[in-house]
């Protein structure tokens, strides 16, 4: 049904008479000043050939011709709404830009589920990369990819990185995660089966980070309850990567290793009391 409607539209467009300059101007004036729907219909139908020709140029992007023609018709109506007949410019010249822009926007929205860049430079790269690459390959036979990227980047005034990324996107179509994989051991496997990640979930990572910062703050507050020697012993014994031995600490502090052990035990008990008094939930 859709294909038949498209053929009928093309036949009607081809049968529509061409408009002379004066007749086109009169129709545009009646539409602009009086909103005459009949004038709008005649003006747009006479230029549907332009829409169909433009749609044919974009048919290699894998989208339906009917949809492209429909989007081009939207651009044609937009051109009619904005056209100023007093500027003495032919309507086809003005409408071409709107038709092309409407089709290009539709292609960018629907060519892939991954949205690409929408800047003018990215659009120019998307629609001209294949043409320029083919032209350069013919001129330079088997030129390396990086040389072709350099020439395309120079011609379109974008970076070589953007050219390489766009070329990679155009080289591969979207693939469903539920598409089956050819696997003799498990013929029923799908792409999504290989995307399982054992890493913690983002909320778990965030929770661990927040809890770690909170515990570090509590420890710093509790360490303030210790005297200088207790703090030194705990830092050397418990808070350093290479914990010092009792003998080494005793020698540096001028006390016995047994005395170091006693001070360490007392400091740990003071830390425990300081933490549980301020945060009773830690005692559970």
Do the Cβ atoms of 95 and 47 come closer than 8 Å? yes
pTM exceeds 0.75: no
| Relative orientation angle of helices 120-140 and 160-171, to the nearest 10 degrees | 80
Provide CATH code, domain 202-283: 1.10.10.10
Of residues 6 and 96, which shows the higher confidence score? 96
Q: What is the pLDDT of residues 63-120, one digit of tens each?
A: 888 899 999 999 999 999 999 998 889 999 999 999 999 998 898 888 766 666 666 7
What pLDDT is stored for residue 202 in this prediction? 85
Which of 109-113, 138-142, 198-202, 273-277: highest mean pLDDT?
Answer: 273-277
What pLDDT is stored for residue 116 in this prediction? 61
Q: In the predicted model, what is the mean pLDDT of residues 227-246?
A: 86
Q: What is the largest CA-CA distance in the chain?
A: 112
Q: Report domain extents, the chain.
A: 2-110, 120-171, 202-283
Q: Distance between CA atoms of 177 and 91, rounded to whole angstroms?
A: 47
Do the Cβ atoms of 274 and 280 come closer than 8 Å? no
What pLDDT is stored for residue 74 in this prediction? 94
How many DSSP H helices and E strands does the chain contain?
13, 0
Pair of tokens at residue 26: 């009169």
Q: In the predicted model, what is the mean pLDDT of residues 158-167?
A: 76
What pLDDT is stored for residue 283 in this prediction? 65
* Burial category of 106 from C-beta neighbours within 10 Å (exposed 0-12, middle 13-18, buried 19 and up): buried
Q: In the predicted model, what is the mean pLDDT of residues 239-253?
A: 85
**Quick one: CA torsion of 39, 44, 47, 49, rounded to 10 degrees?**
-130
pLDDT at 140 over 60: no
Average pLDDT, whole number, for the chain?
A: 82
What pLDDT is stored for residue 189 in this prediction? 73
What pLDDT is stored for residue 73 in this prediction? 93
Q: Distance between CA atoms of 149 and 145, rounded to whole angstroms?
A: 6
Architecture per CATH, domain 2-110, reads as: Up-down Bundle (1.20)
pLDDT at 194 over 90: no
Q: Distance between CA atoms of 169 and 151, rounded to whole angstroms?
A: 19
């Amino acid at each position: 049904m859709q294909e038949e409607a498209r053929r009928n539209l093309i036949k009607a467009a081809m049968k529509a008479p061409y408009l002379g300059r004066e007749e086109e101007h009169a129709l545009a004036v009646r539409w602009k000043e009086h909103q005459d729907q009949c004038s709008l219909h005649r003006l747009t139908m006479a230029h549907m050939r332009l829409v169909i020709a433009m749609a044919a140029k974009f048919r290699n992007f894998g989208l339906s011709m009917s949809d492209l023609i429909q989007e081009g018709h939207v651009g044609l109506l937009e051109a009619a709404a904005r056209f100023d007949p007093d500027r003495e410019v032919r309507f086809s010249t003005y409408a071409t830009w709107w038709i092309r822009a409407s089709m290009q926007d539709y292609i960018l929205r629907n060519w892939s589920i991954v949205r690409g860049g929408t800047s003018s430079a990215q659009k120019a790269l998307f629609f001209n990369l294949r043409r320029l690459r083919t032209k350069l390959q013919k001129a330079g036979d088997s030129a390396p990819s990086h040389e072709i990227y350099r020439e395309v980047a120079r011609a379109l005034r974008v970076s070589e990185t953007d050219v390489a990324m766009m070329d990679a996107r155009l080289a591969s179509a979207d693939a469903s995660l539920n598409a089956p994989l050819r696997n003799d051991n498990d013929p029923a496997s799908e792409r999504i089966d290989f995307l399982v990640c054992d890493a913690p979930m983002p909320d778990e990572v965030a929770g661990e980070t927040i809890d770690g910062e909170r515990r570090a703050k509590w420890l710093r507050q509790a360490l303030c309850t210790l005297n200088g020697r207790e703090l030194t012993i705990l830092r050397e014994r418990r808070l350093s990567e290479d914990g010092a031995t009792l003998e080494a600490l005793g020698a540096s502090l001028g006390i016995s290793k047994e005395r170091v052990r006693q001070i360490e035990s007392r400091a740990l008990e003071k830390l425990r009391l300081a933490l549980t008094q301020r945060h009773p939930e830690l005692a559970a």
